Amino acid sequence: MTLERTFKAKAVRLNYLDYGSSSDPPLVMLHGGAWRWQEYLSLIPSLGRRWRTYALDLRGNGRSGWIPDTYRLQDFAEDNAEFVSRLNAPAVLVGHSIGGVIALMVAARCPGKVKALIIEDVPLTLDNYRRVVDSSRDMFGLWLGLKKSAQSEQELSLALADAYKDYPGVTSTWMLFFAGCLWQLDPTFFNALLHDFEGFAEGYDYRDILSKIECPVLFLRGESKLGAVMTDDEISWLQQNFGNAQCSRIDGVGHLLHLQDEGQTPVLTAMRTFLERV
């Protein structure tokens, strides 16, 4: 059975997809920033054969509720820790980009409710996170400007298509998906990230967080030259200091990983291989 449902967290109403058999163990998927649960649409049917898959919209994204100017890492972690804590069994958490950071924070908050983690291309250290944000300011500004000026989702999709007309590999399918995400996004979503990074990242100390996580973790990233944000130094630190981590690079893709045609099959293969041992 496949249904979109609503979870009433303390602070906000969260929209999520519920896919798979109620007798299977839970797997929770957290999308990247400014997107929605459909980011994982191509992976859900395969993973749902063994796992009861929950794919959530973060607050301010998709069909979840808006809380203007309340989009800090701790806010997202509180929402999703509450969701995970109410499941009837420990869950596997899958998170991409900011969703991966949130998944790490949730696992540290309620380790007894998390069975394993799959983390896709996160900036692990705060210095790297800040660098990624600073390098993305113009992009985020473009998105918000186009959203503000558009009168409809269709108009927004055309404006995005024009803005990215010279970018190789940007397809109509991607434009339609992202226009829908951006149209549903709370316009204050980026405020803390862009204008109060210290407040946005408060409570995120990767060393402290990882010290509280004992479950197996798979870290996936693409190639740095193609836009992946996880660095070689971060991977080296994990391999030297975090014994329950497995790190794997997906060649031919950047930060988008499974959202790129070249990445979908190898990402799914890496996930399923890892999950077979969980």
H or E element at residue 149: helix 126-149
SS3 content of the chain, % helix, strand, coil (to 5): 45, 15, 35
Looking at the DSSP bridge assignments, the partners of residue 19 are: 2, 53
CA 182/CA 179 separation, integer angstroms: 5
Residue environment code for 79-111, b if the CB has 16+ CB neighbours within 10 A, otherwise e:
bbbbbbeeeeebbbbbbbbbbbbbbbbbbbbbe
pLDDT band at 167 (very low <50, low <70, confident <90, very high): confident
CA 75/CA 102 separation, integer angstroms: 9
Q: Cα 114–239–252 angle (5° rounding)?
A: 90
Share of the chain above pLDDT 90, in %: 95
Tens digits of residue pLDDT in 39-70: 999 999 999 999 999 999 999 999 999 999 99
Q: Are 278 and 115 in contact (CB under 8 A)?
A: yes
pLDDT band at 168 (very low <50, low <70, confident <90, very high): confident
